[in-house]
Structure 1
Amino acid sequence: MPEYQIFKNIQKHISLSDSERQLFISLVVEKDIAKKEIVLEQGSISRKLYFVEFGSLRAFNVNEEGRESTIMFAVQDWWITDMNSFINQKPALLSIETLEVSRLIEFDFSTLEELYKRLPKFERFFRIIFQNAYIREQLRVLDKISFTTEQQYTRFVEKYPQIVQKVTQKQIASYLGVTPEFLSAVKKK
């Protein structure tokens, strides 16, 4: 059986037998996606939860004035979706695009339910994944209200060096909620 990155991710929280690994592989879809492909369009229904085997993606929102705000990035060994849309089957508030050629493992909602039914330990696994995502977002909000843009940028670079190598200054500025010009001025200080 091929050694997927996702199994390393899973092993951080639960153990799988060889037969459980085989069952898991039979339920998910692996896709190679070209650079700059939209895997979720804002306004459509998110039908997939993605695990990044390799590559990188970003989730962003475009407001009524056409301004993009990057909400999150995902690199190898990370998960990404518009969670509200995926869980509640409501129109997505985010678009998700690949920043480079990427290999994704896709879970649709029914696959997730089937996984929970056939391998109940995955309920524990995804509970941990979703809790960690919630904590990360809560800490991001606290950074936003507690630190200057310069401090936020420094913390981002220190915390996510693997992302900084893959994204543009414009995308980082969008994530921090500032213009690229403002971020450039902050970096010069």
Structure 2
Amino acid sequence: MPPRNDAALEFLLSRRSRPAKTLVAPAPNRDELMPLLTAASRTPDHGKLEPWRFIVVEKPAMARLASITTKAGERLGKSPEDIVKGRSQFELGQLAVVVVEVQQSSPKIPAIEQTYSAGAVCLALLNAALAAGWGANWLSGWVSHDATFCAEAFDLQPHERIAGLIHIATESTPPPERPRPDLAALTTWVDK
């Protein structure tokens, strides 16, 4: 039997994202954030392409992003409610790490595998933040899928897109438990 890491397994069995709207100051400083980014960068990455990068959005930049969100929502014809919801992650945000998927040209590694790697980075960062005692939440939403917003807000290039915005700060209230998947309905066993 391989050696067990019961603490890590217990963490994974009980982990729970914290709603971004419940995260308050303080957020991790740059020194506290680096180990979390390091943990996230240890994600599976077929071919060592590193098909992702990080943009750290600190509190002073949040108001600018909320303003760009309003302009994007108006340009896209979003409802006032959608604009308010899109703005809120920036208006309330303390710190967010934008995980940017960077598609690399590769004859061996399909684009979908690069997308999976970027998604794995998001989950690894989320779990690292939670394991370090921070509250964290993985968001996206309509703004993160709008190329014009992404170019203006983060200077993303045509071969880049947002895989997730990982908000990290201090948990203000414990999150409620939510229903979990029915594993019996989702699992097929193949034994021959």
TM-score by length of 1: 0.25
| Higher relative contact order (CA closer than 8 Å, sequence separation 6+) | 2
TM-score by length of 2: 0.25
Higher strand share: 1
